[in-house]
A = this chain, B = another copy of it.
Amino acid sequence: METKSSPFISFVGASSGTWQVLSVKAIKGETLPTVKAIQVLKGQEPIYLDVHEWVLKAFISNLRYTERSEKAALDASSIPLGNPSHTMAALIPIKKTKDWWAMTQEERRAIFETKSQHIAKSMPYLPYVSRQLHHCRDLGEAFDFLTWFEFSPEHVDKFESLLKILRETEEWDFVEREVEIRLEKQ
């Protein structure tokens, strides 16, 4: 696969790649075609599109809702991606409803943290589950966000609990499409 410079991160669903696909499950709305593996390309553009089943493109951006005191707590709890013991991962693309995007900043923040406690409820799991949010709505992609999680095999239960807690929040009422792709490092 030839590459050229790009500000984007591409998740390439293909027949081979660093992350082997264990399962692809539609949580809400349409699923994605099942693939054997996912290759994550950072700052590179996938060229030979014919060898891929699909490509999800996104970017990492500045914080949109987090406040200073929350950032301090998150930074203290979080572990960066790429931990060698974290051989399990999940890619969960999400699309939120038109109602979500029609809201103003303080209305979205109220659902995100005041009502759903997205940050507060996630906090206990961050020492076990590394996370990265990728944005793609502004690229005209099918999803709004590509969420990415890494964890070790002995902490799969922590990841399951985190998922369950987030999906029970009011924020998740605004999710109209969600696909859960579970992965294992090859």
A residues contacting B by CB (< 8 A) are: 6-7, 59, 61-68, 70-71, 101, 104-107, 109, 135, 137-140
Number of this chain's copies in the assembly equals 2
Chain B positions within 8 Å of A7 at CB level: 138-140
Q: Complex formed: what's the CA distance from A135 to B61 in Å?
A: 12
| Given A6-B140, A66-B104, A67-B105; 16 other pairs, CB 8 A cutoff | A7-B139, A7-B140, A59-B138, A61-B137, A61-B138, A63-B104, A63-B105, A65-B105, A66-B105, A67-B104, A67-B106, A68-B106, A70-B104, A105-B105, A135-B138, A138-B138
Interface of A: prevailing SS: mixed
A71 proximity list for chain B (CB < 8 A): 104
Least CB distance from A75 to B in Å reads: 11
Closest Cβ neighbor of A67 among chain B residues: B106
A106 closest partner in B (C-beta): B67
Point out the residues of chain B lying under 8 angstroms from A67, CB to CB: 104-106
Report the bound CA distance from A63 to B100 in whole Å: 12
